[in-house]
Structure 1
Amino acid sequence: MKEYGLIGFPLSHSFSQKYFTEKFKNSGITDCRYELFELSDINQFPNLIQSRPLLRGINVTIPYKQAIIPFLDELETVAAGIGAINVIKFENGKLKGYNSDYQGFMQSLQNFYPINAQSQALVLGTGGAAKAVTAALDHLGIAYKQVSRNPAINQLNYEQLTPEVLQQYPLIINTTPLGTYPRVDTAPPIRYEALSAQHYLYDLVYNPAETEFLKRGKAAEAQIKNGYEMLVLQAEVAWQIWNS
């Protein structure tokens, strides 16, 4: 039996376990199972590894995508550049970290947004998810500005997002947790009334399926997309990594 699983805290709602359990069932894979490993402290990770000799791969979610790195033997090149890990592969007694969020987002964005040489994006947020998004934008040649309540050099704050600025950035990507269940009434503080049918709003949040961010964009006739497809695609990339 091969064992896979997810580490994070808390893990009350897990897309990954449901997805992989159904995948194994529908594909007739009978020698694999997917478990949840809720760790209240990342320092519990070595004990988990020692106690589960059948583990072949692990997904990593909030809040450990960066904290897990010191526990790994090696990082894949792109993942090292992003500085956040969401897939661990067990190989020859070593643990290697990857980032499938980057690939999942990139594939999903290409299905949604008509990329061209003049494409410009606003990335709302600067956390681990934003790092995967900006790596994908770099790869696709899409210029971007990051937006934060406490901006660093070359970043914007929300007050700077005037209607004129919003017109320059047709693609707006929410990487913050604002709008996630159960706080579904929250949304990034941008001027939604300045949006138009020329805008594309992508929200990494998938629960609820239509966040307040997306609802307000839709009301302004913008194109909208949530993070569900990205989740599916990154899960498939993880499966490819574990079986390569």
Structure 2
Amino acid sequence: MRKFGLIGYPLTHSFSKKYFTSKFAREGIVDCQYDLYEIPDISLFPKILSENPELEGINVTIPYKEKVIPFLDEMDPACQKIGAVNCIQNKEGKLKGYNTDYLGFRQSLESFLGNTRPKALVLGTGGASKAVVQALADMEIPFQMVSRTRSEKHGWITYQDLEQNPEFLETHHLIINTTPVGTYPKTEEMPQINPNYITGMHKVYDLVYNPEKTFLMRSLEARGALVKNGLEMLQLQAEAAWRIWN
């Protein structure tokens, strides 16, 4: 039996297990199984590997996309540039890291934007934002990072800055949420964006996919914005991971 799985914490609403289990059933793949490995600390990762020698492919989710890097033998060059890993190939005990979030996000964003390239506000500066900003840079889309804490060094602004300077939203018509705010079960929360500054010019891409329409998406769509969730990105990154493992 070929084994694949996901490490992260917590794993209460994993997309990957559902996706791969139904993929195996749909495509008649009988010798594969996909499991969840919920670990409260990344130091338990080697134990997962030693207890599951058949594990060929591993997805990595919050909060281990950066923390898993020291455990790897090598990294795909594109992944090195991003500095976060969400997919690992285990070949004869050698672990190689990839970032399929980048591939999934870029492909999905290109279809969302069409020929337009609006300036972007990226909400959040954690592991999930790394693939996003790399894709934006490669697509030549200027972006501004927004964090809870200001950083002169990194050029990050805060949500208070957004509130006090409406020109950020006047000049940046693409809003990308890379934070987990608004994820099930806390579905009535959203990052601090003032809907009064939103117009029909804005496009909102929320990496959250559960619920299907986040509070952020609903609130900004009500002001005329075009919205999209992270489901297509997840499907694209899952297929990219499957190609890597095979």
Q: Name the TM-score class by shorter chain.
A: over 0.9
The AA in structure 2 aligned to 1:126 is T
Tell me if the contact between 1:171 and 1:200 (Cα under 8 Å) persists in the aligned partners: yes
> Within the alignment, does 1:204 sit opposite 2:207 as a pair?
yes
Partner SS state of residue 210, structure 1? coil
Which string of whole-angstrom CA distances, capped at 9 and with x for unpartnered residues, describes residues 175-202 of structure 1?
Answer: 1111111111111112211111110001
How far apart are the structure 1 equivalents of 2:48 and 2:175? Answer: 39
Partner SS state of residue 152, structure 1? coil
Report the aligned-residue RMSD. 1.2
How far apart are the structure 2 equivalents of 1:105 and 1:135? Answer: 10
Partner of 2:188: 185
Partner of 2:237: 234
Partner SS state of residue 123, structure 1? strand
The AA in structure 2 aligned to 1:50 is S
How far apart are the structure 2 equivalents of 1:33 and 1:177? Answer: 27
> Within the alignment, does 1:102 sit opposite 2:102 as a pair?
yes
Shift of 1:40: 1.8
Shift of 1:92: 3.6
How far apart are the structure 2 equivalents of 1:182 and 1:90? Answer: 33
How far apart are the structure 2 equivalents of 1:168 and 1:83? Answer: 29
Partner of 2:2: 2
Partner of 2:197: 194
Give the gaps of 5 or more residues in structure 2: none
How far apart are the structure 2 equivalents of 1:98 and 1:77? Answer: 8
Alignment of 1:112-127 (within 5 A): 112-116=112-116, 119-127=118-126
Percent identical residues: 52
What is the number of residues matched between the two proteins? 242
Alignment of 1:1-244 (within 5 A): 1-116=1-116, 119-153=118-152, 154-161=155-162, 162-243=165-246
For normalisation by structure 1, the TM-score amounts to 0.96
Which string of whole-angstrom CA distances, capped at 9 and with x for unpartnered residues, describes residues 120-175 of structure 1?
Answer: 10001100011110011011111101011212122221222233221101100011
With 220-229 and 34-43 compared, the bigger mean Cα shift is at: 34-43
Partner SS state of residue 157, structure 2? coil
Which string of whole-angstrom CA distances, capped at 9 and with x for unpartnered residues, describes residues 189-225 of structure 1?
Answer: 1221111111000100111111111011111010000
The AA in structure 2 aligned to 1:83 is G
Tell me if the contact between 1:17 and 1:36 (Cα under 8 Å) persists in the aligned partners: yes
Give the gaps of 5 or more residues in structure 1: none
How far apart are the structure 1 equivalents of 2:146 and 2:65? Answer: 21
Which string of whole-angstrom CA distances, capped at 9 and with x for unpartnered residues, describes residues 26-53 of structure 1?
Answer: 0111111111111122111112111111
Shift of 1:115: 4.1
The AA in structure 2 aligned to 1:183 is K
For normalisation by structure 2, the TM-score amounts to 0.95
